[in-house]
């Protein structure tokens, strides 16, 4: 059976091939390992294989893992909250995570900024954009992105790093790539609207099944779960 280290290597090779095909430098694409539903041991295994950045969807599960890894003596990891964010969970996120990629409204951003502890660096933030406009989905509408970003930039304890999107699967690779290209255009327009701040460098898109199309369209961060850790089993989760 393939180990987590084997899977990580295979994903790194996929990223390298996709970058080569797009004429891009592989150092321009960060791999975020999405460890939701997997235990601290799986994270420790990936960390031992050189993985540093981890993504979690469920706040309490993520915090428990962050604490467990620290107690196990695994240091230097970077934790990203990538799941839907309710106002009553912002304090835990502000206190424990390094990044939040799922901010889609100002109220949540304000709470995160207010609650970020003074002894920690600013919380790194991506705004989640509902790029394909699916009515029931999380994310700010594309037309609302620039005003939200302008308000977030003004918050003292947040640092706006870019946008994140989770487009619905498309019937084929070309259609998938077209949706990602739309997100890339939104990202470029946002950077222009804010005057090209150098830290606004993150276009987070692409997962296990579509990272090649996302990289072709300009993704700078792919979020990969099942291709690294295996199939997820959801046990009675809401």
Binding residues (CB under 6 A) for ligand PLP: these are 34, 36, 57, 82, 166, 207-209, 223-227
Q: How far is the CB of 130 from ligand PLP (least distance, A)?
A: 13
CB of 196 to ligand PLP, least distance (A): 27
Closest distance of CB 122 from ligand PLP, Å: 22
For ligand PLP, the closer CB: 144 or 208:
208
For 228, the 3-state DSSP assignment is helix
Please report, for the chain, how many H helices and E strands are present, in that order.
Answer: 9, 8
CB closer to ligand PLP, 53 vs 154: 53
- Residues with Cβ within 8 Å of residue 11, at least 6 apart in sequence: 31, 211, 224, 227, 228
Count of Cβ atoms closer than 10 Å to residue 220 Cβ: 20
Shortest distance, position 91 Cβ to ligand PLP, whole Å: 21
Give me the residues paired with residue 223 across strands: 32
3-state secondary structure of 33: strand
Of 40 and 62, the one with the shorter C-beta distance to ligand PLP is 62
Judged by beta carbon, residue 36 or residue 65, the one nearer ligand PLP is 36
């Amino acid at each position: 059976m393939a180990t987590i280290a084997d899977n990580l290597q295979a994903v790194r090779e996929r990223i390298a091939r996709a970058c080569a095909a797009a004429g891009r430098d592989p150092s321009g694409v960060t791999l975020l390992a999405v460890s939701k539903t997997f235990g601290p041991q799986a994270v420790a295994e990936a960390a031992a294989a050189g993985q540093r950045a981890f993504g979690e969807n469920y706040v309490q599960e993520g915090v428990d893992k962050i604490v467990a890894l620290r107690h196990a003596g695994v240091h230097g990891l970077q934790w990203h909250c990538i799941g839907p964010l309710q106002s009553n969970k912002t304090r835990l996120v502000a206190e424990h995570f390094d990044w939040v990629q799922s901010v889609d409204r100002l109220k949540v951003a304000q709470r995160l900024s207010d609650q970020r502890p003074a002894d920690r660096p600013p919380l790194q933030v991506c705004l989640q954009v509902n790029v394909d406009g699916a009515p029931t989905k999380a994310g700010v509408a594309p037309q609302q992105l620039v005003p939200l970003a302008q308000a977030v930039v003004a918050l003292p304890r947040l640092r706006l790093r870019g946008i994140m999107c989770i487009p619905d699967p498309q019937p084929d690779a070309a259609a998938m790539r077209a949706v990602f290209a739309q997100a890339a255009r939104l990202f470029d327009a946002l950077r222009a609207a804010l005057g090209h701040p150098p830290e606004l460098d993150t276009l987070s898109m692409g997962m296990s099944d579509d990272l090649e199309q996302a990289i072709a369209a300009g993704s700078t961060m792919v979020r990969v779960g099942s291709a690294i850790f295996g199939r997820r089993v959801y046990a009675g989760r809401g």
